[in-house]
């Protein structure tokens, strides 16, 4: 699977909301599905990779476009 199935616009939300919304979106998807996230919270560059590591998901990519951080996450096989 190369394209994200789901896109989340989390701009303007502060910690912990970006991670909580990412967790909820990923929980609804099958293993291997991808979610593209846009967030402006500076802590998201720490929180989202940490969430992926702890929950068994894969951080496919991370980019920055101005103040917006763009992440692509891939759902792991185990439930979180």
Q: Distances from the Cα of 65 to the Cαs of 5, 23, 38, 57, 72, in angstroms?
A: 21, 23, 9, 23, 14
32-78 pLDDT per residue, tens: 999 999 999 999 999 999 999 999 999 999 999 999 999 999 999 85
Q: What is the pLDDT of residue 14?
A: 97
- May I ask the CATH architecture of the domain 6-74? 2-Layer Sandwich (3.30)
Supply the pLDDT for residue 68: 98
- The catalytic position among 13, 15, 33, 45 is 15
C-alpha to C-alpha distances, 54 to 12, 64, 79, nearest whole angstrom: 24, 23, 12
**How many CA atoms lie less than 13 Å away from 62 in the CB half-sphere?**
13
Extents of the domains making up the chain: 6-74
Q: Please tell me the pTM assigned to this model.
A: 0.89
Distance CA 32, CA 45 (A): 22
Helix axes 17-27, 44-55, angle to 10 degrees: 40
15 among known catalytic residues: yes
């Amino acid at each position: 699977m190369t394209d994200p199935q789901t896109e989340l616009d989390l701009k303007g939300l502060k910690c912990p909301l970006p991670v909580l919304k990412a967790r909820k979106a990923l929980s609804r998807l099958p293993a291997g599905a991808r979610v593209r996230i846009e967030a402006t919270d500076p802590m998201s560059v720490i929180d989202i990779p940490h969430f992926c590591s702890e929950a068994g998901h894969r951080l496919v990519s991370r980019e920055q476009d101005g103040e917006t951080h763009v992440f692509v996450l891939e759902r792991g096989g185990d439930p979180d």
